[in-house]
Structure formats: C-alpha cells, structure tokens
Amino acid sequence: MMRKGLRFHLDGGRTIWPVLGLVALLVLNLIFSERFFHLEILDGRLYGTLVDVLNQGSKVMLLAVGMTLVIATGGVDLSVGSVMAVSGAVGAVLVTRTEIPFPALVACALSAAVLMGLANGVLVALAGVQPIVATLIFMVLGRGVAMLITGGQIITFEDRAFVFLANGHFLGLPLTAAIVALVLAGTALLTRGAAVGLFIEATGNNETASRLCGVNTRMVKVLVYGFSGFCAGAAGLIAASNIKAADSSRVGEMMELDAIFAVVAGGTALTGGRFTLIGSIVGALLIQILTTTMYNLGVPPTIAPVPKAALIIVVCLLQSEQFRRHFVGRREIARPTVPETG
C-alpha cells in the first residue's frame, strides 16, 4: 500500500496517460498492420518494426533524458538540435582528417557538446537570461558553428567503429538501444541514487526557497544544461553514424520540439519541479511509434504533422487536471486560495 502510494507520487500519477496513449497506438497497429509486431532473428540479431522503433527513437530518447532535467528546473533547451549538428561535425571531421582512436573522437565530440550546454547554463543561471532566449541563441549559433567545422560541406565517412555506433548490434539488439539504456540508467542513478534529483526538483519548484535552504541553485542549473548538451552530443554522433555523414544543415532539425514534447507528454510539467525519466522515454517512444505507424499506414509525409499535432493535443489535454475534471470526471481536491490582504 505504502509502496504503491509512493510510486504514484514519484511520477505524480501522470505517466499513466502517455502509457495509455502508447497502448492505444499499439492496439491500432495490431488491428491495421500485422507486420508491426512481427519479429525475426537473423544471425542472432533481432529484426522487426518494433526494433526499428527502438533504433530510430534512440536520438529523441537521449535528447528527452537531458531535456527532462532542464525542464524540471523550469527551463527549456532549444539548442539540442544544433548541438547534435556540432557533435556530428566534430566527429566527422576528426574521423576523416585525423588518425585519433575512436574513443578519443567520441570524447572530443561530447566535450564540444557539453561545452555548448554549459554555455547555455551560464547564460541562464549566471547572466539571468531567459532559458528560451539563451538556448535560442545557441540554436542559431550552434548550426553556424557546425557549418564552420564542416566548411559547409556534407562530410561522409566509412570508419567502421563510427558506422557501427548506429548500425551495430549488442546482445541481439541495436547498439543504440543499449546506449539509451546506459544513459538512462546512469541518469536515474545520479538523480535518484544521489541527491541531484531532489535538488533539481526543489530548484524547479521553488528556486528562492531552495537557495535559502543552501541548495546551490545556480550550479544545479548550469549542470543540467551541460548534461542536456552531453545527451545531445551522444544523439548527434548516432545521427551522423546513421547516415555515415555529417550533414550540418539538416541533422537534428526540429528535434528539440520532439524532445520537449516527449518530456511534457511523459508527465514532467513545463513549469518545473517533479520529473520522470521513464515518462519521457515513454513520450519519446510514443512519437516514434506514431511516426512509424503513419509510415506503415501509408500516410504521405507531407501531411504527417497533422496526426502528430492531434496526438500532442490529446496527450496535453489528458495531462491537464482541469480538462480531466471536466471531461473525464476525475475529481481532485483543489487547494483553497486566500487572496493577499493588508
């Protein structure tokens, strides 16, 4: 009883809605496309649409993990798509023009991404710039930097290690799924196994009170943006590996919006405070399955945004307590508010 109450409280009971959405989509697929759940094993590797979903969705899932922490502090990171481009560009240039070992290449690309993230954080936490403005600056700037690194060219590569990143397998599943699992587990350990999660939630829920409690709220904010940069950097390497090229002008385009949607649909409010990593992963899968479903059903890509928007509206309405109270009939006790007097 106690444990159950606890679980529900941890995600604010909101993860239930994206999970329901996910189930509904899967049921839809079960009815309309029998191939969707078809899985087969070739050479000890698992193939099938669901596996593709995991592989294709890995980038948004990674972005969503970083974005969750940023949004939990009450901020938002619009620069992740551009950071992906920078990290991919650094990776591609290093792999084609130098002989450095692959791990060093990954470290360089991720460092560049983390630096951009930290710069976002410094603008937000120390300079007091609005998160949306600060990260918008880096959204624009980042793509320029990426173009500068690649010299405006699409740089292709054939390096085996780099290509393996997004196309290889690990334990029969795509390597990307393992990377997501690793990042997710690490993040969960750091936030819930240490006090980092508490500090992030406290900062997002009431920054002043947290600061007066001795929480270094500025440091918390700088670090979450840095971490979001790290996640975007990893996603950027996967994106480059995926197409065996760094395409600075196109990679990660509009993906910041997918990531934000994944987080919000997953049950983390844009106002900050409580966050749920699992919810964000579910949100990211929701988007990916919807994309795949539409592809399977033969919806032309030009009108694909319409059903996507419809889904976003439905999930957001379900997240709204007011909407649920009116239309779903679930009543919750509202806190009495007393106006200031005197």
Partner 1 sequence: MGRDMSEPLLRMRGVSKTFPGVRALSSVDLTVRAGEIHALMGENGAGKSTLVKVLTGVYPKDDGKIHFAGETIAPASPREAESAGISTVYQEINLIPRLSVAENILLGRQPARFGFLNWKAIHRKAERALERIGLRIDVRREAAAYSVAIQQMAAIARALDVEAKLLILDEPTSSLDEREVEDLFDVMRRLRDRGLAILFITHFLDQVYEIASRVTVLRNGERVGECETANLPRLELVAKMLGKDRAKLESGGEPRTAGTKRAAPGVPADSEAAREAFFQVRGLGRRGGVEPFDLDMREGEIVGLAGLLGSGRTEMARLLFGVDAADTGQCLLDGKRFAPSSPRKAIDRGLAFCSEDRKTEGLVPDLSVRENLILALQASRGPLRLLPRKEQMEIAGHYIRALDIRTPSLETPIGNLSGGNQQKALLARWLAIQPRLIILDEPTRGIDVGAKAEIEKLVQSLRERGMSILFISSELEEVVRNCRRIAVLRDRKKIGELTGPDIDERKVMRMIAETDEGRDFRGGVPAVPNDPPREE
Binding site for partner 1 (CB under 8 A): 2, 5-6, 9, 12, 193-196, 198-199, 201-202, 205-206, 208-216, 273-274, 335-336, 338-342
CB of 185 to partner 1, least distance (A): 17
- Amino acid identity of 142? G
| 254/338 with CB nearer partner 1 | 338
Q: Does residue 153 contact residue 88 with C-beta atoms inside 8 Å?
A: no
CB of 340 to partner 1, least distance (A): 7
CB of 83 to partner 1, least distance (A): 24
**How far is residue 132 from each of residues 2, 53, 124, 339, measured CA to CA in Å?**
39, 30, 9, 31
CB of 138 to partner 1, least distance (A): 25
In angstroms, the CA 214 to CA 300 distance is 54
In angstroms, the CA 239 to CA 80 distance is 13
Strand partners of residue 156: 245
| 218/324 with CB nearer partner 1 | 218
Per-residue tokens: 94: 């290093």
Closest CA to 75 of 275, 213, 254, 210: 275
| 241/319 with CB nearer partner 1 | 319
CB of 9 to partner 1, least distance (A): 5
- Amino acid identity of 105? L
| 71/84 with CB nearer partner 1 | 71
State the CB neighbour count (10 A cutoff) for residue 197. 20
Q: What is the CA radius of gyration of the chain?
A: 21
| 97/331 with CB nearer partner 1 | 331
Q: Does residue 229 contact residue 237 with C-beta atoms inside 8 Å?
A: no
| 98/130 with CB nearer partner 1 | 130
CB of 341 to partner 1, least distance (A): 4
In angstroms, the CA 213 to CA 229 distance is 28
